Structure 1
């Protein structure tokens, strides 16, 4: 083996030995704290099915029905092949023919992943056929005017218009078609459309049937809806809203009116944090919260659902209920909360992700949190494959993944002297920000410098606002005075959140520009990795110091070994070691490693001439024999 290869191999062994020595030595000499107790290993077996289903869902938004059919058949065939290979019986007489248990588990998991991907692709093929084939696709492609009867499928969403102040004039409403009349032809089909309308469309609730007229146009590439209907008239003859949806809408309106006695900032922020209603939120406060990365507080997110579910579980357990009844009651309460704020896809996603995050943090099953998240992702994508292209869905998954993978480790790294609730108050927003940052800069290329500071300051105030405000919502109609008292207390905390957002947004450098596109994603990913590594090093100063010192000692030992000839022996140029020859190999030290006491910190000569020492000296540089030396003066 060449000398340089031996040196590289020796160097890799040194680094590995130093690392193991530092880690094992620190663990052996330092008493283990409860936070460092061994926990269950993270189960990653469901990550492959989740990733495969997600890829199939995204492909279903871009591929044609024929291509999706090929994908489904190929996935099923390959899954059956892998399942057949995994089920092959073991033959002791021919070892190596049957798969090992590890390989058998991998093959079975891959087969299940392919079957689920085929199901997601088949579901996407239905929507793809509506987008590319049939009379509705032709009407959308030609931009015809239609008269349609549609069913409202979700809560209306206000569309922001640049340079427009005051109430929103344009609304976006997801609908399902019932009847479409165009050119004297009546189409009875159930397709997903997006209606763009005026102010009257913002008053609808899910479940209502309305009649409208407008013009169709194709959607953007990669979208799940079959088309966009630009309404030319307000919704006509809306039917009665469902009981639950109508009651929830009335409660939301009553809650906004009940909170109107508060100051402008808490009067607009409190309904947004509790029910997701931002109709009276001040524009200046909204802009300030966007600058410091606090917009997730003005919408129903996983944090809201986690707090509501956690409070319900604690209340049930305080009455000494068993786990199953407590889980059923808490799940029912969470379902009513979802109905209150509106059963949109984003709210359902937030409820499911919040439940996963709560179970992973407080359920005592740290190794199963990733499995729960993968199951939730698979279920949501199978129900609605269009979520695969949603940035909101991606951010929800990344935030939950950060809490599961990074948040618990950051909490464990915190010193014992710091209360666990304080450690969680810092770890949860930090872990979510580390995971969501690279995606956030793609949507908005700017860096919120004080985002972590603002969220940490506001985190103790979020729970009282959500819990007290949610408790006040059902009391607005039957018991207005207790509801007013709860709203007043919750409004005080929401005023603190608004003040935090305004103060941090006015600090110098609160919002810095960031590179766009892939460059911004990679730089933010690098920043997140550096931040996580810095936290790891700061939580283990003794291990880091031991690792550095051990590496330094190994480097010194390597240099001494190379200088003394104990390293790899090499032959001088021109000489070869012939097998059977008694001529020994001459060890050669590297150039410049001549031992000289007092020269440099490592006692090695640092005066390198740059000349290869193996080359023969020139005639003028060769030493003069002693018998040719003449004394001074020619004597």
Structure 2
């Protein structure tokens, strides 16, 4: 029986003596000395901050779709219900203290009622914040001018880096977009209004170069034609501003912090310039989320393998950098005695201050995206715990970070990136330790069990959300992320070393970048290999209905897996089935699906808008005429047909819906020659074909009138 808690009703007791070797603090639930147990197994999971965070998040996500009156009604209802629950909870708790213990059993305790009231208060706060944010976005004349497609002169301040868009698969990345805050709008009749509305600047291809070097916090004046945003972004920006002049007029340069950050970022780009193409592209992506150098085929491979979290700076990057300084997050109360700070003998409070400086610098240099903000706030709460000498509680820190960020920027409540970041981190904290222990009990080595559990847990909770907007499921995500994880830490840390040393020594930065190139190239090779497998990904219904279906399927698979993992033969069967599903051997696929039919001669591939025709040349060879707009679609079609050799690839003209899928047709196949039209229009698409043919080592020649060929 636990001893009763002592309550002092008289004068306060003297302060407790500090713990001595004879009198050590123990954990209230486990009875073990604090710090003696494994941190992931020390006490129950603290979920008290989770309901308030979820309530605020849901309310902030729903509020922009409601009218102002509905939001006000929702807020008032939450406040009234919270007050009622709070009063009822306090009364129930007070009456429970006056009754004997055997009479205190009740379906709902006073504490639960108070907690529910607190969650409703947070929901009211979330709805209020989202309502105010939506009102601020649509304040002033800009939204109405956007509906009229007005031509205006805008004065604006950039809030992010201008970047090239990727558009639909296979399309050249020519359009540049830049987030900004419009601070003044002048209409054609001379009327000028001071405003403060978020906008998205869209720069056409011919004017892109003048924008790509601009830094956040730069103040500009441009002429633009406004357009209303689509429904998906109507709550986040007031207008799209399509630039109509050659060069923007700079009114104020970026601030000092952004100039320094821009110099550091450029230093890393310079340090990686002489490296092989994949390393040159991957290192800036791994270190600071700059994907501008990633070729389309590598980007598609990373996406197909569900490895995009590695190349857009996320919580893993922030945690890795912070762990070097203060110790790994999993060390809980012992973290203050680990990391670089402990090695240098830095005191606790100084460690927290310096760690905050590292966190701020990393966030500014790598840009505060949704997942970076989440990790930065979590890290800040951890540093506060270190500074005050408290035990680090990671799940409450995650929930508190989500709550604070949703209230600060309600647009994050509708961000897929933020949702994926929070879900993945929660899975690592709650699910992964249990799965790791389960695998260890089945004989798996500890490092392998922890890596598999972390990857599988994150994939299980994130895959349904990915299906919402991607309408697909990756079957190679688990093995690819496991293999890439071997190189992620060294590539990122060496890349960060190159980033930090670039302003001091270009030679040192180049050496660190060269070392980072090896693990970076490994990650790229894993992505390309995994995405190149026939069954790398399968289509899945999109939207939240598809997400619910995938979540149900995932739950069913987990129920089957748990007993199956106790039997070696069952594990072998499951692994074999997964391998067959991913490899899709051609004879087996034909036997299961009946496709392709025997002795096929001509197939028109389903590539969406555009054309891709395949003519059998015997064996595993075929002549391909046009390749459609999507590399993945034409690649999948050729794989299903078993085509491994293309003696001749004909491109009838250079429009995107006929040539943009070229990388998919060339991927993993030998190609004898490419013949094209003699009309090289549009020039950008013709140059794209030349570059891809050159990279693949395939000769390219124009078609000659009257020419005949016989193949097969």
TM range (shorter): 0.7 to 0.9
Correspondence list, 1:296-445, <5 A: 296-313=309-326, 314-352=339-377, 368-415=393-440, 418-445=444-471
Residue pair 2:138, 2:197 contacting (<8 A) in 1 also: no
Alpha carbons 1:357, 1:404 under 8 Å: kept:
no
Name the structure 2 match of 1:173.
Answer: 178
Q: Which residue, out of 129, 136, 142, partners 2:142?
A: 136
Question: 1:56–1:99: structure 2 CA closer, same or farther, 3 Å change rule?
Answer: farther
Residue 52 of structure 1 corresponds to 55
Task: Provide the rounded CA distance (Å) in 1 between the counterparts of 2:153 and 2:490.
Answer: 48
Please give the per-residue CA displacement for 1:356-391, whole angstroms capped at 9, x wherever unaligned: 89999xxxx999433222111100100000111111
SS in 2 for 1:194: strand
Give the corresponding residue for 1:516: 542
- Provide the rounded CA distance (Å) in 2 between the counterparts of 1:80 and 1:242: 46
Which residue in 1 is equivalent to 2:482? 456
Structure 2 spans left out of the alignment, 5+ residues? 1-36, 327-338, 571-712
Which residue of structure 1 aligns with residue 574 of structure 2?
Answer: none
1:221 correspondence with 2:238: no
What's the counterpart of residue 514 of structure 2? 488
- Match of 1:45, SS state, is coil
- Judge conservation of contact 2:279–2:517 (CA < 8 Å) in 1: yes
Structure 1 equivalent of residue 611 of structure 2: none
Say if 1:403 and 1:428, in contact at 8 Å, map to a contact too: yes
Distance verdict in 2 for CA 1:134–1:230, change over 3 Å: same
| Aligned residue in 1 for 2:71 | 68
SS in 1 for 2:473: strand
- In the TM superposition, residue 107 of structure 1 has moved relative to its aligned partner by 2.2
Q: SS at the partner of 2:91?
A: coil
Match status 1:447 vs 2:463: no
1:62, 1:221 within 8 Å by CA — same for their partners in 2?
no
Q: Is the 8 A contact 1:425 1:456 kept in 2?
A: yes
Report the alpha carbon displacement of residue 450 of structure 1 after superposing the two structures with TM: 1.4
1:465 to 2:491 alignment: yes
| Whole-angstrom CA distance in 2 between matches of 1:282 and 1:519 | 33
- Unpaired segments ≥5 residues, structure 1: 1-33, 545-635
- 5 Å-filtered alignment, 1:496-515, equals 496-515=522-541
What number of residue pairs does the alignment pair up? 506
Summarize deviations over 1:413-437 as a string: whole Å, max 9, x none. Answer: 2326644333222222211100001
The 1:242–1:343 alpha-carbon spacing in structure 2 relative to 1, beyond 3 Å, is farther
SS in 1 for 2:253: coil
207-216 or 178-187, which moves further after superposition?
Answer: 178-187
Q: Partners of 1:359 and 1:262 in 2: how far apart?
A: 40
Equivalent in the alignment of 1:631: none
**Helix, strand or coil: the match of 1:70?**
helix
Q: Aligned equivalents of 2:356 and 2:562: distance in 1?
A: 37
Q: Deviations over 1:86-112 (max 9, x none)?
A: 333745899799997962212222222
CA 1:366–1:210: 2 relative to 1, 3 Å: same
2:283 to 250, 267, 270: 270
CA distance in 2, matches of 1:92, 1:293: 52
Distance 2:504 2:415 in 1: 40
Q: 1:84 maps to what in 2?
A: 87
How far apart in 2 are the matches of 1:331 and 1:538? 46
* Residues 186 and 77 of structure 1, relative CA distance in 2, 3 Å threshold: farther
Residues 544-579 of structure 1 show CA distances to partners (whole Å, capped at 9, x for unaligned) of 9xxxxxxxxxxxxxxxxxxxxxxxxxxxxxxxxxxx
Pair 1:203-2:203 in alignment: no
Secondary structure at the residue paired with 2:193?
strand
C-alpha distance after superposition, 1:518-561 (max 9, x if no partner): 5532442133223433554356679x9xxxxxxxxxxxxxxxxx
Residue 137 of structure 1: CA displacement?
Answer: 3.4
CA distance in 2, matches of 1:208, 1:312: 33
Question: Cα–Cα, structure 1 residues 531 and 308, in superposed 2: closer, same or farther, change >3 Å?
Answer: farther
2-structure distance, mates of 1:92, 1:120 = 33
SS at match of 2:222: strand
Q: Relative to 1, partners in 2 of residues 1:316 and 1:367: Cα closer, same or farther, differing over 3 Å?
A: closer
Give distance in 2, aligned partners of 1:525 and 1:86.
35
Coordinate RMSD, CA, aligned: 3.4
Higher mean C-alpha deviation, range 500-509 or range 374-383: 500-509
Choose between structure 1 and 2: higher helix proportion: 1
Q: CA-to-partner distance for each residue in 1:417-469, whole Å, 9 max, x for gaps?
A: 64433322222221110000111112112222211111111111000011111
1:477 to 2:489 alignment: no
Q: 1:532 to 1:356 in 2, by over 3 A?
A: farther
> Does the 8 Å CA contact 1:303/1:354 hold for their aligned counterparts?
no
Q: Relative to structure 1, is the Cα distance of residues 519 and 64 closer, same or farther in structure 2, using a 3 angstrom cutoff?
A: closer
TM-score, length-scaled by structure 2: 0.65
- In structure 2, C-alpha distance between the alignment counterparts of 1:380 and 1:80, rounded to whole Å: 25
- Work out the CA distance in 2 between the residues paired with 1:63 and 1:433: 33
CA distance in structure 1 between the aligned counterparts of 2:516 and 2:297, rounded to whole angstroms: 21
